[in-house]
Structure formats: structure tokens, C-alpha cells
């Protein structure tokens, strides 16, 4: 069925509203900006990496919830790649492993990252809320929540450059996670945007998708609030 001009205009407006959430993305958070300016201490960076690892290792659980709730095989076939990207298919592979290596490059041990001893309550609460959201909300809203990836490549590139410029004590091999995401994030958000525009047609569905993306922005921002509050004087 041909798409009418009215439908096309509505889709363009919807996508524009999704992209407008860039103003609420955590790239604008003072802690993130301080990181990019080279203003964080070693302990602050370590605290950020340890807490962010809790988010990283829960992403496959979030994506598994999308798969469990999604009734469309063609969506599941592509979405499952996200779990593979994070978990890998063998030891030593995947984004979780890459983040562990980042922590090691910053002077953390695998044990202290994996046992969650440094995870602050606000981060745990925010991440757990995100996983619960993916399990309990309509599957396409969980997909929409992932669209913070629309804004991630620019932040990844800026973060990578900042680490190389301002934090020479970090082993450069430990930055592989960010290099990988420069290509994975655009691929992932292209698919998620395609899914959301296809399956969110009614005003109510689109409103739900926008609310989901707003919620995800809050999750990421709240994580940095909690990290900044804990490590402000370290």
C-alpha cells in the first residue's frame, strides 16, 4: 500500500520529535562534559567505569526481554545481534569483555567490577528500572527506549578522543569498546528507528515511544547524577 503525503509528513514529524531528545541526552551532563574536558581524577574515572559496567552487563537481559515480548520473527532475527555483540559467542569476545578490559586499563580488577562492590544505589536502581521497563512495557516501547543510540556515535567519538588526549595513563588497548561502538551504534539505531516508525503509527503508539525514549534519557542522566554525587571529592 502506498504511503500518503499525510502519512509521510506524520512519520517525519515523529522522527523529528525522537531526534529532539538529543537535548536531554547525557552527553550534556556536567560529569560527562568534565570527562571530555580532561577534568576527572583517576578515581572518578574508575568509579564511572565500574558503575557503567553494571549497565553494560544488563543490556543483554534488556534485549532478551525485547525478544521475549516481540511477536515478529523478522525483528527478532536482527535484534538478537545485540545480545551477541555484548555477550560474544566465546570467551574473550563481546562488549562486556571489552568493558572489563577498559576497567583493567584504568587500574580496576575484573573481580571488583564483576562483584559490584563499587555500584552505587542510584545506578543500580536506574539500571534495574530499565530492565524492568523492557520486560513489562510493550515491546516496541522497549525498542524505542534504545534510540538514545541516535546520539551515541558523536559521544563515543568525543569520548575516545578525550581519553586519548587527556588521560594518557589509560592503556590505549583498553579503549577498543568505544571504537567498536562507532560502527555498531549507527547500525543498531538504524534498525530500531525502522522498527519504531513501522510499528508506531497511531498517536497513542507514537506518544508511548516518545515517553519511552524520555525515560531512557532519564535513566542515563540519573546514572551520572549518582556517580557524580558519590565521586565528587575523590
CATH number, position 118: 1.20.910.10
Residue 76 included in any domain: yes
Residue 184 included in any domain: yes
Residue 198 included in any domain: yes
**Considering its fold, how many domains does the chain have in total?**
1
Residue 20 included in any domain: no
Residue 161 included in any domain: yes
Tens digit of pLDDT per residue, the chain (234 long)? 455 767 778 899 999 999 999 999 999 999 999 999 999 999 999 999 999 999 999 999 999 999 999 999 999 999 999 999 999 999 999 999 999 999 999 999 999 999 999 999 999 999 999 999 999 999 999 999 999 999 988 888 999 999 999 999 999 999 999 999 999 999 999 999 999 999 999 999 999 999 999 999 999 999 999 999 999 877
* pTM across the whole model: 0.94
- Domain span at residue 161? 41-231
Residue 209 included in any domain: yes
Residue 14 included in any domain: no
Write the DSSP string, the chain: -PPPHHHHHHHHHHHHHHHGGGGGSGGGSHHHHHHHTT---HHHHHHHHHHHHHHHHHHHHHHHHHHHH---HHHHHHHHHHHHHHH-SSTT-HHHHHHHHHHHHTT--HHHHHTTTT--HHHHHHHHHHHHHHHHS-HHHHHHHGGGGGTHHHHHHHHHHHHHHH-TTS-GGGGHHHHHHHHHHHHHHHHHHHHHHHH--SHHHHHHHHHHHHHHHHHHHHHHHHHHHHHTT-
Residue 26 included in any domain: no
Amino acid at each position: 500500500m502506498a504511503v500518503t503525503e499525510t502519512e509521510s509528513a506524520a512519520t517525519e514529524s515523529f522522527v523529528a520529535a525522537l531526534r529532539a531528545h538529543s537535548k536531554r541526552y547525557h552527553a550534556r551532563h556536567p560529569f560527562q562534559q568534565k570527562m571530555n574536558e580532561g577534568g576527572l581524577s583517576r578515581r572518578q574515572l574508575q568509579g564511572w567505569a565500574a558503575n557503567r559496567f553494571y549497565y553494560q552487563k544488563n543490556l543483554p537481559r534488556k534485549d532478551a526481554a525485547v525478544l521475549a515480548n516481540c511477536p515478529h520473527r523478522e525483528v527478532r532475527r536482527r535484534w538478537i545481534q545485540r545480545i551477541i555483540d555484548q555477550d560474544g559467542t566465546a570467551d574473550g569476545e563481546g562488549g562486556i569483555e571489552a568493558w572489563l578490559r577498559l576497567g583493567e586499563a584504568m587500574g580496576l580488577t575484573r573481580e571488583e567490577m564483576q562483584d559490584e562492590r563499587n555500584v552505587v544505589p542510584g545506578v543500580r536502581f536506574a539500571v534495574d528500572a530499565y530492565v524492568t521497563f523492557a520486560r513489562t512495557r510493550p515491546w516496541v516501547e522497549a525498542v524505542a527506549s534504545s534510540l538514545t543510540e541516535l546520539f551515541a556515535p558523536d559521544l563515543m567519538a568525543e569520548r575516545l578522543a578525550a581519553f586519548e588526549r587527556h588521560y594518557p595513563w589509560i592503556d590505549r588497548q583498553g579503549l577498543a569498546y568505544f571504537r567498536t561502538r562507532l560502527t555498531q551504534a549507527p547500525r543498531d539505531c538504524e534498525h530500531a528507528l525502522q522498527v519504531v516508525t513501522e510499528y508506531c503509527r497511531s498517536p497513542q503508539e507514537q506518544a508511548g515511544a516518545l515517553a519511552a525514549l524520555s525515560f531512557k534519557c532519564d535513566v542515563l542522566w540519573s546514572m551520572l547524577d549518582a556517580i557524580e554525587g558519590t565521586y565528587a571529592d575523590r
